[in-house]
Amino acid sequence: MRNAFLFIRRHFNFLFFLVLQIIALSFLFRYNKFHEAAFLNVSTEITGRFNERYNNIEYYFQLKKTNESLVQENLRLRQQLKENYEGPDSNRRQINDTIRADSGRSIVKYQIMEAKVVNNTTALRANYLTIHRGFAQGVRTNMGVTGSQGIVGSVINVSRNFSIVMSMLHPNFKVVAKLKKGGETGTIDWDGLSPNFVTLHAIPKSAKVAVGDSVVTSQTSSLFPANLLIGTVDEIVPDNSSNFYMLKIRTATNFSNIEYVYVIDNTQYDEQKALEDSTRKKVQ
């Protein structure tokens, strides 16, 4: 026993070092798995305040770019309006309306709120955005986030006034995407090489793909409404060992100058998730 105490006293510095290393590594590897760590809520609130101060200054230098992207978005929205009025499928809309009347209440599936980006990285291995909206304003985890040009990521952590968004530039971010022309679906992920490109996997070789084709979100993605732009095909890599293409996609969003994003609330997300989970339990 005495020897044990002597050993501890003698190597106290080394043992102390080991303990701190183990604490640090356990933070690191637990976080990577479950996206949570001790005090992360509190620390997000504190670092969020710093980020907000910094962003207030940075904001003035980017006003011109912000204006431009807002003008472009306005233009796009106005064009959509025109299309809607002259749309040939007004019949289908009416069918939807009768269902609504039957159920006695209107069904809003997606609600959208704007949020200001107060912190953003693109240079790291795993990138996150901090936005200035938290659970007090109605954000919860697993909400999709889009920018004015294309999708951005999904919410993974929420504090009172701030939320952390896992950017599309993160090795764990996956989203179901489809080719706008043909409708074939595949999954998008990021290979970590350049902030301007992501990869679309599992598009069968029977699909007709050309460079410049649009890639949009699929209706099977539970985070995003269908047909939001993700990017355009930049390069087609034929994978000889399989029947699938690997497509290099240029992202529609320019991640280096995001100022505002839209958080998409799928009001039926919980219901859909609960049904799917209970089915999985039943089958097993």
User: Which residues touch 134 (CB under 8 Å, ≥6 apart)?
Assistant: 158, 159, 160, 161, 162, 163
Q: Is 56 in the site for other proteins (CB under 8 A)?
A: no
Q: Binding marks (x or -) toward other proteins, 165..184, rule CB under 8 A?
A: ------x-------------
User: Distance between CA atoms of 234 and 249, rounded to whole angstroms?
Assistant: 5
Q: CB under 8 A: which stretch of 10-18, 143-151, 224-232, 259-267 binds other proteins?
A: 10-18
Determine contact, residues 175/217, Cβ cutoff 8 Å: yes
Question: Residues binding other proteins: what is the number (CB under 8 A)?
Answer: 38
Amino acid at 108: V
C-beta of 249: minimal distance to other proteins in Å?
A: 18
Q: Do 177 and 215 form a contact (C-beta atoms < 8 A)?
A: yes
DSSP conformation letters of 247-265: EEEEESS-GGG--EEEEEE
Does residue 224 bind other proteins (CB under 8 A)?
A: no
C-beta of 127 vs 217, nearer to other proteins: 127
Q: Tell the smallest beta-carbon distance from residue 27 to other proteins (Å).
A: 3
Name the residue nearer to other proteins (CB basis): 27 or 207. Answer: 27
The strand ranges marked E within 104-219 are 110-120, 128-131, 144-146, 151-158, 163-167, 175-179, 185-189, 197-204, 214-217
Q: Which region among 47-55, 131-139, 237-245, 265-273 touches other proteins (by CB under 8 A)?
A: 47-55
Q: Which residues bind other proteins (CB under 8 A)?
A: 12-13, 16-17, 20-21, 23-29, 31-32, 37-38, 40, 43-44, 46-47, 50, 54, 121-126, 128, 164, 171, 192-195, 256
